[in-house]
Amino acid sequence: MKTQEIKVDGYERVIEADLGSHVTSIIAVHNTKLGPSLGGCRFYNYVTREDALTDALRLSEGMSYKSAMANLPLGGGKSVIAGDPQKVKTRELLEAYADFVNSLDGLYYTAKDVGIELEDLDIIEQKTKFIKGTSAKNSSGDPSPVTAYGVFQGIRASAQFLWRTNSVKGRKVIIQGLGHVGFELAKHLIEDGAVVHACEINTEALNYACKNYGIIPLDINGWQTTKADVFCPCAMGAVLDSTSIPMLANNGVQIICGGANNQLLDVLKDSQRVRETGMVYAPDYIVNAGGIINIACEFGGYSASRAIQMTSKIYDTTLTILERAKKQDKPTAVVSLEMAREKLGLA
């Protein structure tokens, strides 16, 4: 397989491989100070090679901070396969990807991300041992319910910080994206007594959730126009920007806490914007760490109860960040970044 090393400042290794059939893959290893890098593989139809590289770099850096802040013995890495999974995904291609992962000899462990299904992992697993979160018997399986549980802990901590109660009983919450994480999160919120509204492009999933769980449907842009106390982005990244942040504040939103990765379009500018409105932003990679915690529990023998117990600590970590940000008069995302970089010796 043809591979080439790409030199990128601040990253330990970035390698690009030709998987055949005109499909390339990039593995980005950001930092392995705390352990081998682990992060999912995203199979996505990027417009340009630069887009694929940028995504791999951004996501792998995020994984370093996520694992460090969750106190896991893991580093940050991520891989992307550039192509339309519906059109170019074949067994041969996934096997070539497994060979590519093997070429790093354990510096990077792969897992599931957007565009990769559990069946794909099963194929990859036949050719590499550097893989986690598969459907194998001793594996941790779908991380989404644990991720949702962690996001719920982040919301409870934010409520404690702001309202002096760690419950959202009677509060109006909007979830954007009722997928694997959003739907599980909705169940926790409803059980806690919240009134849950949701936007979802998949009308079948939305109708099911509304009919069976009493969730109130919103149209796709309803999260920007509807009054609420809490907003939970659980779909895509970059939803918090100079347009949406004032809209959310005008709608009375006081807490932003959701499962999506990279919610702030510009981490420094947009976290400052959120702070100026008085809304509380619980940093994404702090509250959505349940998934990686669940996967990390595979090292040394998976235990579901240990994963939940470790994920429940997201409550304390979130509260610490919110309180420190208030004391230091800084955006929460900045405080969290400073703490993570200090743990990695990058401060």
Could you give the residue numbers annotated as active site? Answer: 78
Near ligand NAD by CB under 6 A: residue from 75, 83, 154, 179? 179
What is the helix, strand, coil percentage profile of the chain, to 5?
45, 20, 40
Stretch near ligand NAD under the rule CB under 6 A, chosen from 20-28, 176-184, 266-274, 298-306: 176-184
Q: Which is nearer to ligand NAD, 202 or 207 (CB)?
A: 202
Near ligand NAD by CB under 6 A: residue from 12, 200, 229, 298? 200
8 A C-beta contact, residue 256 and residue 240: yes
Alpha-carbon distances of 265 from 13, 16, 243, 319, rounded to whole Å: 25, 26, 11, 23
**Residue in the block written with tokens 């008069």:** 329
Near ligand NAD by CB under 6 A: residue from 110, 134, 140, 144? 144
DSSP string across 305-317: HHHHHHHTTHHHH
Q: Which is nearer to ligand NAD, 71 or 103 (CB)?
A: 71
Dihedral class, residue 22 (left if φ above 0, else alpha if ψ from -120 to 50, else beta): left
Give least dist CB 244 to ligand NAD, A: 12
Q: Which is nearer to ligand NAD, 197 or 273 (CB)?
A: 197
Residue 132: how many CB atoms within 10 A of its CB?
Answer: 25
3-state SS, residue 108: strand
Near ligand NAD by CB under 6 A: residue from 52, 228, 253, 260? 260
**Residue in the block written with tokens 């992992």:** 121
Instruction: By CB under 6 A, tell whether 131 contacts ligand NAD.
Output: no
8 A C-beta contact, residue 58 and residue 66: no
Stretch near ligand NAD under the rule CB under 6 A, chosen from 15-23, 44-52, 124-132, 253-261: 253-261
Instruction: By CB under 6 A, tell whether 177 contacts ligand NAD.
Output: yes
3-state SS, residue 72: coil
Q: Which is nearer to ligand NAD, 29 or 148 (CB)?
A: 148
Residues 54-83 contacting ligand NAD, CB under 6 A: none
Alpha-carbon distances of 205 from 179, 185, 299, rounded to whole Å: 8, 14, 34
Residue nearest ligand NAD (C-beta atom): 179
Q: Which is nearer to ligand NAD, 12 or 55 (CB)?
A: 55
Alpha-carbon distances of 305 from 144, 180, 293, 311, 312, rounded to whole Å: 15, 20, 12, 10, 11
Near ligand NAD by CB under 6 A: residue from 39, 83, 143, 283? 143
Instruction: By CB under 6 A, tell whether 182 contacts ligand NAD.
Output: yes
Near ligand NAD by CB under 6 A: residue from 236, 247, 304, 347? 236
Q: At a CB cut-off of 8 Å and minimum separation 6, what does 321 contact?
A: 282, 283, 286, 332, 335, 336, 339
Stretch near ligand NAD under the rule CB under 6 A, chosen from 70-78, 85-93, 141-149, 187-195: 141-149
Q: At a CB cut-off of 8 Å and minimum separation 6, what does 245 contact?
A: 270, 273, 274, 277, 279
Give least dist CB 46 to ligand NAD, A: 16
Q: Which is nearer to ligand NAD, 89 or 96 (CB)?
A: 89
Instruction: By CB under 6 A, tell whether 259 contacts ligand NAD.
Output: yes
Beta bridge partners, 189, equal none
Near ligand NAD by CB under 6 A: residue from 147, 224, 254, 332? 147
Beta bridge partners, 174, equal 197, 231
Contacts with ligand NAD by CB under 6 A lie at 143-144, 147, 176-182, 199-202, 205, 220, 234-236, 259-261, 288, 291
